Structure 1
Amino acid sequence: MVVRGTLPRLWPVPSQEEIASIVRMTDPVLRNLHITQTYHVLTIAMTDLLGEENVSWCAYATWASKTAGFFIRKEVVPGLIRDLLERADAMTRSMAGGLPEDFLGTWAAPFGLQALLTRALQQIADEIARQLSRGNLLVFEELAPLYAAMLEHFSGGERYDQGTLDRFLSRLSRGPVSREGQDLLIRAFTHYYEAMFEQDPKARAERIFLANALVGYHEQTRLQGPLIGALHAPLRQVFLDEVVEFLGVSSTRRANPLQEMSLRGTFGPLAARLERLWRELSTRALMRMELPDGVLRLGEDIPALNAERDFPPSLARVEHPELVSLMGTLDRTPNDTAGSAARDWGELGDRMNLIVDLFRTRQQDRVLYDQPFTFMQVDALRQGRVPHGHL
C-alpha cells in the first residue's frame, strides 16, 4: 500500500503544458524563478507517491536552481569584481612601469588597466550567467516532465503493476548518457516505483536514495558542458581584446598587426595571472549551495547529520546490492562524510563524490520542504513579473 503525504498543497501540480511554457520562456531570470518554484511544487506532490519521510531529487533541485539564480541574475558579480580588483591592484601597479607609453599613454596607469579589467569581467559574468542558465534549462526540460508524468501515471496505484511501469518507461531512450541515452533514468524511476510499494522503511529509504543518486548522476553528466563553460570563461582573451580595442579607439593611430602582437605579448603575463585569480574567486563562489537553513560550502566536507551519526539511521549502512555498487563507484568514502569535499567542481567524479553524501545526509531533512519564495513572490511570478525582495 502506498504511503501518501499530508503536506498542504498550496499550488496545483504543473501540467506538461505549463512545464513546456516555462521551457519556452526567453527571459533567463524569470525562467529560472519559475523552474525553482516548479521543482518545489513537484517536491511536495511527490510525497503522494513516496511519503514524507524521504525527499525526492526534486527537493535538492529546488535549492540548486535557487542558487543558480544568484548567478543568472548576476547578483554575485559586484562582490566578485571588487574582490578581484582589490587583489589585482598590486599586479597592475607592478606592471604599469613597464608598459609602453606609445600604446596606452596615460592609460598605462593602474586605474586605467582596472577600468579595462572591469569591462572584461562584466563580459565574463555575462558568459557565466549564460552557461548556468543553459544548464538550468537543460536539466529542467528533461527531468521536470518526467516527475510530472510520474505523478500522472502512478498516482492512485495500490499495488505494483509491471504494465504501468513499462508504459511510463517507454518514454525514455535506452543507452548511456554519453550517447543521449537515459539508462540511468530508467533505473532511477524503476526504483522510485518500487519504493512506492515497499513496506520496510529502511528498504524504502535505500530505494529512494538510489533513485535520487541515479538521477543526480545523469543530471551532472548532462551539466558537464555548461559547468566547464562557466568555470573556464576566458578572462585572459577577453581582457587582451579590451586592451587592443581601447588602443583602436583612443590612439591617434591604430596598431598594425605587429604592434597588436607586441601589445598582447606585453599584457599577456598579467592577463594570465588575472585569469588564474578570477578562476580561484569565481570557482569558490560557484561552489556553494543555498539551503533553507544556511549556505553549504562545496569545497568543504558535507556536515554530518549530527554529533552522533553521519547519516539517518535507515541509511547508516546501505544493503541494497545496486546501491552498494553505485556508492563504490561514486563515493570515495562510502560510509563517512569525511573526504566528501569537492576539490575540482569541473570534474564529474569529484562533484558526485560530494553530491551522494549531500543526498544521503539530507534525505530525511524536512527543512527541504520549505518554500523557496514568499507567497507574494509566487503571486508576482504567476503574473509574469520578477518579484521584489530577496530571491
Structure 2
Amino acid sequence: MVCCTLPRWWPVPTKAEVEAIIQMEDPVLRNLHITQTYHVLEVALTDVFGEEDLSWCGFSTWASKTAGAFIRKDVLPGVMAQLLERADAVTRGFSELQDRLLGAWGASVGIQYVLARTVEDVLDEVARHTARGNLVVFQELGPLYTDLLANFTGMDSPEPSRVEAVVSRLAPGPVGEGGQDLLIRAVRHYHEACFTEDPKAHAELMFLANALVGYHEQARLQGPVVAALNAPVKELFLEHLVAFVRADPNPRARSLSEWGLREGFAPLAQRLERLWRELATRMLMKMELPDVTLRLGEDLPALTAERDFPPALERLSHPELVALMAALDRSPDDTAGSAARDWGSLSDRMNLIVDLFRTRQQDRLLYDQPFTFLQVDAFQQGRVPHGRL
C-alpha cells in the first residue's frame, strides 16, 4: 500500500453517493458534484497508485470543470459578442434583400434581434448536449473508479480475485456495441501498476490504462460532441425570423408568406450556420487546466524546452502501449501534430488526448482543488455558488 501525502479534505464518495449524483436532475449542480467527485477520487487513488502518476480521474476533473462553463452557459456573453460582430459583415451583404422584405426598421433591428434569440437557443442546445455527455461518462466511470478504489486499497501483493470483482461488473464486447472491453483491459493494467516498482514501467502501465479509459470515454461521447457542434442554426434563425415578422406592425412585412421568407433568407441563414460552426469549434476545443487554457485546435505545448514528455514516458517500450499509440497517435513521441483538426472526429480527439495524457501524467498541478471550500459547501447544500467557478 502506498502512503499518500496529499491532504484529504473530503471523504471518499460511496457507491450510494455516486448513484445519487447520477440521479440529480439539475445539470448544473450535477456537473459541480461530478467534477468534485473526480477530484476526490483522484486524491484517494494515490493510496493505490502513488502520487507520481495521475489516473484518468486527474484529467477528467478538469475536463468536467471546463464542461461546466458550457452547461451553465457562462460563455453566452462572449459568444454572443463574437457572433454578432462577425455576423455584421455577413448581414450587410444581404442589406438590399432585408430592406426590400422587412423595411428599413425591420432590417436594422430585426436581424440583430433574431440573431440574439438564435444564439440563446443554440447555446441551450450546446448546454444540453454537454450535460448529457458529462452524465454519460460519469454513469460508467464514476462507479468504476469508486469500485476500483474499494477493491484495490490495502493490497500488499497481486490479488486476481479483486480484479475479477471489478471487471465482473463490466460488459464484455467492443465499445461500438455497448461493450466495455477497453475498460476491462484498463482495470487489469491498473492492477499491474500497483505492484510495479520500476518508475518507467509504472508510468507506462498508468498511461496505457488512462489511454484505454480515454478511448472508451470519447467513443461514448461521439454523439453528444457531434450534436453540440452541429446545432441547427439555420432552422432556428429562420423560425425566429418568421415569428419576428409575424409580430411586425408593418403591413408589408406581415403580408409576406412564410415560404417566401424562408426562401429569401435561406442563403443568409446558411452563411450564419457556417459562421457558428467556426466559432463553436474554437469555443468547444479548449480545456481549462489549473495553470493554462489549452487550445485543442493547436499543438499541445511540450513539457519543457528540452523534452515533450516526462522522462519515464519519453520513449515507450510496453508492447501493448506502443501498439495503441501507433493506432491513436499520428505523431508518436512528439507533440508536433497533436492538434485536433476536427473535434467531431473521434480519431482527431484521441490523437490529441493521448498526447495530453502523456505530457501531463506527472503534473502535480492536476491534483489542485477545482473549487474553493465555500463553493463546495454551497453546492453540497444544493445551491449553485456565486462568482466564477
Same fold (TM over 0.5): yes
Q: How does 1:21-60 map to 2 (within 5 A)?
A: 21-60=20-59
Counterpart of 1:68?
A: 67
**Aligned ranges for residues 200-239 of structure 1 at < 5 Å?**
200-239=198-237
Q: Does the 8 Å CA contact 1:49/1:196 hold for their aligned counterparts?
A: yes
1:169 matches 2:160: no
How far the C-alpha of 1:127 sits from its partner, in A, is 0.3
Note the C-alpha offset of 1:253.
Answer: 8.6
- Counterpart CA distance in 2 for 1:354 and 1:91 is 33
Choose 85-94 or 317-326, whichever is displaced more: 85-94
Query: In the TM superposition, what are the counterparts of 1:165-204 in structure 2 within 5 Å?
Result: 165-204=163-202
Q: Distance in 1 between matches of 2:89 and 2:302?
A: 41
Displacement of 1:104 after TM fit? 2.8
Q: 323, 326, 331: which is aligned to 2:324?
A: 326
Unpaired runs of at least 5, structure 2: none
Deviating above 6 A after TM superposition, structure 1's stretches of 4 or more consecutive aligned residues are 253-256
| Contact 1:209/1:359, CA 8 A, preserved across alignment | yes
Q: What's the counterpart of residue 157 of structure 2?
A: 159
> Does structure 1 retain, via aligned residues, the 8 Å contact 2:31–2:134?
yes
Q: SS at the partner of 2:300?
A: coil
Distance between the aligned counterparts of 1:288 and 1:349, measured in 2? 17
Q: Which secondary structure does the structure 2 equivalent of 1:289 belong to?
A: strand
Q: Indicate which of 233, 243, 246 corresponds to 2:244.
A: 246
Residue 99 of structure 1 aligns to a residue whose secondary structure is helix
What is the TM-score of this pair, normalised by structure 1? 0.96
Q: Partner of 2:84 in structure 1?
A: 85
Q: What amino acid is aligned across from residue 88 of structure 1 in structure 2? A: A
Deviations 1:3-59 (A, max 9, x none): 332211110000011111111111111111111101100010110110000000001
Contact 1:289-1:296 at 8 Å conserved across structures: yes
Q: C-alpha distance in 1, partners of 2:3/2:216?
A: 27
CA-CA distance at 1:115 after TM superposition: 0.7
SS of the residue corresponding to residue 287 of structure 2 reads: strand
- After superposition, residues 1-391 of structure 1 pair within 5 angstroms as 2-99=1-98, 101=100, 103-250=101-248, 252=251, 259-391=257-389
2:93 alignment partner, SS class: helix
Q: Distance in 2 between matches of 1:162 and 1:26?
A: 38
For structure 1, the residue ranges without an aligned partner over 5 or more in a row are none
Deviation, 1:387, is 1.1
Instruction: Kindly indicate whether the alpha-carbon contact (under 8 Å) linking 1:34 and 1:381 is maintained by their aligned counterparts in 2.
Output: yes
The alpha-carbon deviation at position 94 of structure 1 amounts to 2.6
Amino acid at match of 2:122: I
CA RMSD of aligned residues (A): 1.5
Identity %: 62
Q: Deviations over 1:303-358 (max 9, x none)?
A: 11101111001100111110000000000011000000110000000000000000
Q: Secondary structure at the match of 2:294?
A: strand
Cα shift at 1:107: 4.5
Question: Partners of 1:149 and 1:267 in 2: how far apart?
Answer: 55
User: With structure 2 as the length reference, what TM-score do the two structures score?
Assistant: 0.97
Name the CA distance, whole Å, in 2 between partners of 1:190 and 1:347. Answer: 28
1:75-122 deviation per Cα after TM superposition (whole angstroms, max 9, x unaligned)? 111111111111111222231212374x53445423320111110111
